[in-house]
Structure 1
Amino acid sequence: MKSHRNLVVAATAAALAAGLLVGTAGTGNASSDRVDSAPSSIKTVSSGWSIPWGLSWLPDGSALITERDSFKVFKLTQSGTKTQVGTVPNVVTTSGEGGLLGIAVSPNWNTDHYVYLMHTASEGNRIARMTFDGSSLSGYTTLVSGIKKNKYHNGGRLKFGPDGYLYATAGDAQTSDLAQDKNALNGKILRMTTDGKPAPGNPFGTLVYSYGHRNPQGLTWDSAGRLWEAELGNSTYDELNLIEPGKNYGWPTCEGSCSTSGMTNPKRQWSTGEASPSGVTYADGALYMAALKGERLWRIPVDGTSAGTPKAYYVSEYGRQRTVETVPGKNTLWLSTTNADNNGGEPDGADKVFQVELK
């Protein structure tokens, strides 16, 4: 790990104990901040990874995990057995944050064997579909193209919602005006059918579900089916947003909460040094948000449409935390790092997948 981490652990632990390292308020507090569950233990499931990015569960409880820069997809079992199942074609790097990003296993995988992927290609960012027969990936079909790419701000998260439709996050590709252009796919959350067409009920009749986003990388749904999103800000505030169809989440007019008419404020916001969030998941009454620059796992209790007081775990202990997902049927999380990227400064193979037990 980076040499500075051990030096800051004691200071950050003291700050946490004093209640200093919490996200600032957005648009309200939860009526109760009672902790129903919290991380109780952490262990390594698998090591030797180089920038693992997306993670999606198979029906047997194992996961498919993408590596951003190698373009490879691996299957990882609960016992830690790691097997490469394929390399995705047509992927290119951007010498920054682009490459092979999100992955989503079809909710009907037992019958269709489809896997969905988001990646950068020669002309821009794409959403594609491949077939996974249980041992190897094959085929390749482009479903969505025309999402502009850049060195940074490519978004990239893919997840199926409880409504059965596929959701994707698209960054502004370092062209902030695209986020406010409802005819552009960048700076948006997209919602589509399994064939890449606009899902019924989308607010503008297009793929666009919400807009005004800078670089969204986290998506999850709570127990009531509400959609939450984590978003990297510019230099002032990162955001946790409650997403509603057709709403404008402000970028680039607003970064964090503002009073501009027509803009939807975040439920929570953090300084970019505390967060720079990527993945987010829901478990047992709370959202868990992985932080890159902040090098920590945030727990945010939710009560209806309100988000309570955040608390940070594992501050500077494991480096840049990229993806967090709830293990199906368990009160357990999987948490991955991306320290082998340029910002992490670690060599290839330095990344890990951890298992976090919730008490």
Structure 2
Amino acid sequence: MTAGLAAGALLLTAGCSSGDGGSSGAGPSASASRTAVQGSSSPSAEETPPAKGTVEVVRTVAEGLNSPWGLAPLPEGGLLVASRDEGTITHVDESTGRKTEVGEVPGVSAAGEGGLLGLALSPDYASDHMVYAYLTSVSDNRIVRMIYDPKRPAGDRLGAPDTVFKGIPKGMIHNGGRIAFGPDGMLYVGTGESGDRGLAQDKESLGGKILRLTPEGEPAPGNPFPDSAVYSYGHRNVQGLAWDSEQRLFASEFGQNTWDELNAIKPGGNYGWPAAEGESDDSAYVNPIAEWHTDDASPSGIAYAEGSIWMAGLKGQRLWRIPLKGTEASADPQSFLQGDHGRLRTVVAAGGDRLWVTTSNTDGRGDPEKGDDRILELKVS
């Protein structure tokens, strides 16, 4: 792959990044990242964002959350937040910060990096009021959906879960867990290889993949492999999914010892794990558009806003900005909030130049302070 806008990466000795990253202090910033050109498919008129951006913490939306993971803004206002370890979903009033537990999701078996993970609203939420959740059960990782009824009493606002997809490998580590409905109305699912590296290259396995499903949990029409939910493979542990303004999919991925990744996702693409971690000279693998030393990222959630991907760092304890031109990083990644709020887990676009960001200091790997965990509102450019 041709190096573009090379940062002259500062090669550091990086410890193993477990599925969610460790709780280390912050290391160097952009000098520990690399960007590379992959050949853009963007229209020539597409505007390139500035090389440098800004981040302002507008306010703390809520605090006192336990192991927050999934975050789903409601169209009627308010945020639904999943607690990984408690298996509960909480409604947060984004104006007042008031927290109301809406219910516990049955069947959650929280251990290690597993539990109640990603949340997503049905594309038809206005009529069906369905909330989808990715959870770890006693036997596997699976996706369920539930009716959310805000008119019911607190603690009893979730209907019985309906399992729409199951059989994703589970482990103490590398459970993936991010789910999101794409612009095409299909459900995209980031999975991990559960610590069994060979699953990532096995197209018959659901581990180490990005899956694409119908809302009913069937393999989506047009998937690259016949009768298969697999959309891309060769992943280690995907916890971030986001689309840009041209409906192109990007995903973040945990590395092991050397390179975390941001990838532009191609249907049927092989992203190399375990043979490749980060950039590879093997043309069989799709190379990342940006990569980081594991001490500086260990990325979970991502979101698209203001022409850039914004990526949460757990072990790196910072927010990364990756400006885009098509499916390329148009400038070196830039870091913000380094060490200011500890581990960052989830990033969600809040409209315009705003983001919601959750901290993750009560997940067993952080150093929680009074008020953790929090939801922050950021203004970005």
TM over 0.5: yes
| CA deviation map 1:156-189 (0-9, x unaligned) | 0010000001111110000010000001000000
Identity of aligned residues (%): 46
Structure 2 residue 138 is the aligned partner of structure 1 residue 126: no
| Secondary structure, counterpart of 1:155 in structure 2 | coil
TM-score after normalising by structure 2: 0.86
User: Residues 235 and 248 (structure 1 numbering): CA distance in 2 closer, same or farther, change over 3 Å?
Assistant: same
Query: RMSD across aligned C-alpha pairs, in angstroms?
Result: 2.1
Please give the alpha-carbon distance, in whole angstroms, between the structure 2 residues aligned to 1:356 and 1:220: 18
Any conservation in 2 of the 1:21–1:312 contact (CA below 8 Å)?
no
Equivalent residue runs for 1:1-359 within 5 Å: 20-27=30-37, 34-35=50-51, 38-79=54-95, 80-94=97-111, 96-135=112-151, 136-205=157-226, 206-307=228-329, 308-327=331-350, 329-346=351-368, 350-359=372-381
3-state SS in 2 of match to 1:174: coil
Unaligned runs of 5+ in 1: none
The amino acid that maps onto 1:24 is R
Q: Distance in 1 between matches of 2:39 and 2:296?
A: 19
Distance in 2, matches of 1:240 and 1:319, equals: 21
Is 2:88–2:103's contact at 8 Å kept on the other side of the alignment?
A: yes
How many Å separate the matches in 2 of 1:36 and 1:102?
30
Q: 1:349 to 1:29 in 2, by over 3 A?
A: farther
Amino acid at match of 1:353: I
Q: 2: CA distance between counterparts of 1:261 and 1:358? A: 36
Aligned mates of 1:27, 1:176 — CA distance in 2: 27
Give me the whole-angstrom Cα distance separating, in 1, the residues matched to 2:271 and 2:256.
14
Is the 8 Å Cα contact of residues 251 and 302 (structure 2) preserved in structure 1?
yes
- Counterpart of 1:111 in 2: which secondary structure? helix
Cα distance in 2 between the residues matched to 1:23 and 1:166 = 30
Per the alignment, do residues 110 and 36 of structure 1 end up closer, same or farther by CA in structure 2, a change over 3 Å counting? Answer: farther
Name the aligned partner's letter for residue 221 of structure 2: P
CA contact under 8 A between 1:214 and 1:252: conserved in structure 2?
yes
Change beyond 3 A, Cα 1:36–1:234: closer
Distance in 2 between residues matched to 1:156 and 1:303, nearest whole Å: 28
Say whether the 8 Å CA contact 2:361–2:368 is kept in structure 1. Answer: yes
Using the TM superposition, give the Cα deviation of residue 40 of structure 1 relative to its aligned residue in structure 2, in angstroms: 2.6
Q: Give structure 2 stretches of 5+ with no counterpart.
A: 1-22, 41-46, 152-156
Residues matched between the structures, number: 345
Letter in 2 for 1:320: R
Change (3 A) 1:44 1:239: same
The Cα shift of 1:348 comes to 9.5
Shift of 1:74: 1.0
SS at match of 2:296: coil
TM-score computed with the length of structure 1 as normaliser: 0.91
Identify if the C-alpha distance between structure 1 residues 348 and 158 changes in structure 2 by more than 3 Å, giving closer, same or farther.
farther
Q: 1:41 to 1:349 in 2, by over 3 A?
A: closer
